[in-house]
Amino acid sequence: MADFEPVLLANVGKADSWTLPVYEQNGGYQAIRKVLGGMSPVDVIETVKSSGLRGRGGAGFPTGLKWTFLPKDHPGPIYMCVNADESEPATFNNRILMEDDPHQVIEGIMLGCFATRARVAYLYIRVEYPTAYKRLQSAIDECYATGKLGQNINGTDFSLDIFLHRGAAAYICGEETGLIESLEGKRAWPRIKPPFPAVEGAFRKPTVVNNIETLACLPHIINRGVDWFKSIGIPSTGPRDPGSYGPKLYCVSGHVEKPGCYEAPLGLTTRELIERFGGGVWKGRKGKMSVPGGVSMGLMTEKEWDIPLDFAGPGKVGCLGLGTAAVTVMDETVGIFDYLTYTCRFFAHESCGQCTPCREGTSWSERILQRIMAGKGRLKDIELLNTIGNSIGITPGTTICGLADGAAWPMKNAVTKYRDEMEAFIKKTNPNGWGVEDAVEALQLVQLGH
């Protein structure tokens, strides 16, 4: 990776970086002044479309294109929902931005709302982020006090109100329609689509949902230009690949010497992230595997660490995608069933239960794994896990949202990439029963810490 100057994290580490004076001293709110001084909403949308900015929340959908799905000439109201739930395990890039540079986030929200003609933004934040909540609210208060939020901002006809909304912390609220249901005061059950939120979202009005890091990119695109943004990252390789442009916040945790959140161009490799930023695998051990962007994206072996971490890279080695770019590293001491048991336990706990394949599939995969860990596994269980993995989720068309796909990919990747280890573990821990084909009794969940 060539020399790179961080922009999203440029203010992090500076004294009082979360305050308005510090943000303005470093060029803050120039982008919104530029936009309000002579650009139209269409101009901003076209700029963002031209930049190739893709959503940083997991799916990587082109941001400017997403904005165009809003109905044209709609009388309003139009809402923006800002997804700050950040429930993906080992993901904390949004938290860094909200805690250390909340005004960058607010300016991004202002730009997004101007482009989409939204006059109200709801920032949905998980309750476990008390510092982020306090600093965001303080920054919002500063903006109201100085006329940056409210009615007729900068003497124009653009008005905007931002409201913080604390969620009770559920993984399912990271799904945009689950977030909207929770925002409306209901159980966070994702909605059947269509209609999509752009047509019928919050309070049944047109709504755009964007991620914190996505919006934080907007001031830099406006200030520095499209050419600057597209000079960073991986260019498009064809009509099916819109490219992976711009800076990205990568989280690295697990078995590394220096876990943390680091900014780099899209497209660096897992190996470079681990060795250059994370200080290498800890304790002089060898790396065994990692997740590419949160556990829902699946599993990469150490031999796959040279695949670029862009929107297309992880898919080339059978993973679901880049996700949140939160890489968790596991060394040679970690067993594949240890990883799978905790991963499947997480998804079984977080499934909202609305869709039967997800509710039952995540629950029974957890039970199968607990039985294996208790020394009662069968080789047949490997195929059962693979069958569950191939039968739940949006990809096979059996569920409303993608939580089940996130639960399925680790199982499918484990069977594909670590089958020999799985078979050896079962034969070693259940030498007399590993070949049983008949149905066996499930264990009580309390046996493994429930």
Give ∠ CA 132-135-138 in degrees, rounded to 5: 145
Give ∠ CA 195-112-41 in degrees, rounded to 5: 95
Give me the pLDDT at residue 444, please.
63
Please give the structure tokens belonging to residue 267: 């497209």
Measured from the Cβ of residue 255, the count of other Cβ atoms closer than 10 Å reads: 22
- Domain-terminating residue out of 300, 331, 362: 331
Instruction: Kindly give the pairing relationship between strand 260-265 and strand 244-245.
Output: unpaired
62 & 201 share domain: yes
356 & 263 share domain: no
**238 domain-assigned:** no
182 & 52 share domain: yes
Closest CA to 329 of 366, 368, 280, 377: 280
**376 domain-assigned:** yes
Give the separation between CA 30 and CA 367, rounded to whole angstroms. 55
Q: Which residues of the chain are modeled with pLDDT < 70?
A: 1-2, 444-450
How buried is residue 11: exposed, middle or buried, by Cβ count under 10 Å (0-12/13-18/19+)? buried
- Domain-terminating residue out of 299, 315, 331: 331
Please give the structure tokens belonging to residue 174: 């990271």
Report the phi/psi class of residue 60: left, alpha or beta, with left for phi > 0 and alpha for psi in -120 to 50: left
Closest CA to 67 of 87, 103, 96, 43: 43
**239 domain-assigned:** no
Beta bridge partners of 331: 287
- Domain-terminating residue out of 179, 210, 231: 231
Provide the whole-model pTM: 0.94
359 & 433 share domain: yes
Q: What is the CATH number of the domain that holds 27?
A: 3.40.50.11540
Helix (H, G, I), strand (E, B) or coil at 442: coil
Q: What is the CATH number of the domain that holds 324?
A: 3.10.20.600
Give me the pLDDT at residue 2, please.
58
The residue segments making up the domain with residue 317 are 244-331
208 & 346 share domain: no
379 & 271 share domain: no
53 & 106 share domain: yes
Domain count, the chain: 3
**344 domain-assigned:** yes
Task: Note the pLDDT tens digit of each residue in 311-370.
Answer: 999 999 999 999 999 999 999 999 999 999 999 999 999 999 999 999 999 999 999 999
**1 domain-assigned:** no
**15 domain-assigned:** no
319 & 428 share domain: no
187 & 250 share domain: no
**9 domain-assigned:** no
Closest CA to 248 of 269, 227, 271, 226: 269
Give the separation between CA 110 and CA 147, rounded to whole angstroms. 13
298 & 350 share domain: no
Q: What is the CATH number of the domain that holds 420?
A: 1.20.1440.230
122 & 265 share domain: no
Ordered strands of the 207-211 beta sheet: 161-167, 120-126, 79-84, 207-211
Give the separation between CA 305 and CA 10, rounded to whole angstroms. 28
**360 domain-assigned:** yes
56 & 92 share domain: yes
